[in-house]
Copies of this chain bind each other. A is one copy, B any other.
Amino acid sequence: MGTYPVGSYLPSENEICEQFDTTRTTVRRALDELLKNGFIEKEHGRGSRVVERRKSLGLLTVKGFSEALDHNKRTVILQEPTSQPWDDRIPFRLSETEKEGNAIYFQRLRYVNGKPIMLEHNWYSDLKLQQLKASEFIEGSFFKTLSQNFLIEMKGSEQELRAESANAEVARFLNIERGAPVLHISIRFTTSKPGFYLYSEVYCNTSRYPVSNSYFL
């Protein structure tokens, strides 16, 4: 085991099989993961080559902000998780069971290289998971906390994207002029816990850092 420089080829799938005493199917699943996250490119008949990792925020992948690379990041909690009624802004249909309870809401502001870049509103059902404290977030990451403390993993997401003019609140937090264009992303995360979803409304200043996405297969 080791580290492979950008541009070099990984061992062939069959060699990796021997090295880790496993099968092609499993090795290929692992390589597909690397492919999807932009670490390698596969070349039919030639091999799998390490490519330079994409820059920019990588927001659109399910991995979440904390795992985006290559930038100095900081997150400020603007609103501790609190129980309150569901918000009209959520553009996804809530399930009946979700609607029976309240929402746990929290708000964060995320900085990249010292500049406020993303304003984030988050909700989840208080019937499915207790109220957490932001100070308990593992390494500041909500996803890591769900994974390690509750064995809840992200399975996927649906997103709607809009270019909008910043309203007063967004402009204030992102330190931009009112009316400046911001990228508004509505996300519904599905999780490994049945019926448990996370909803996020994100407002993003993309003038310095574009949001990136990759799609494979």
Contacts and interface: CB of A to CB of B under 8 A. Distances in A.
A165 interface: yes
A143 to B, nearest CB: 14
Contacts of A186: 210
B206 A156 contact: no
Number of copies: 2
- Considering residues A60, A184, A213, which has the most beta carbons from chain B within 10 angstroms of its beta carbon? A213
A60 B160 CA distance: 10
Given A163-B164, A163-B206, A183-B163, A157 B215 contact: yes
Given A159-B214, A161-B213, 18 more contacts: A43-B194, A44-B194, A56-B160, A155-B216, A155-B217, A160-B213, A161-B161, A161-B183, A162-B183, A162-B206, A162-B211, A163-B164, A163-B181, A164-B181, A165-B180, A165-B181, A181-B182, A183-B183
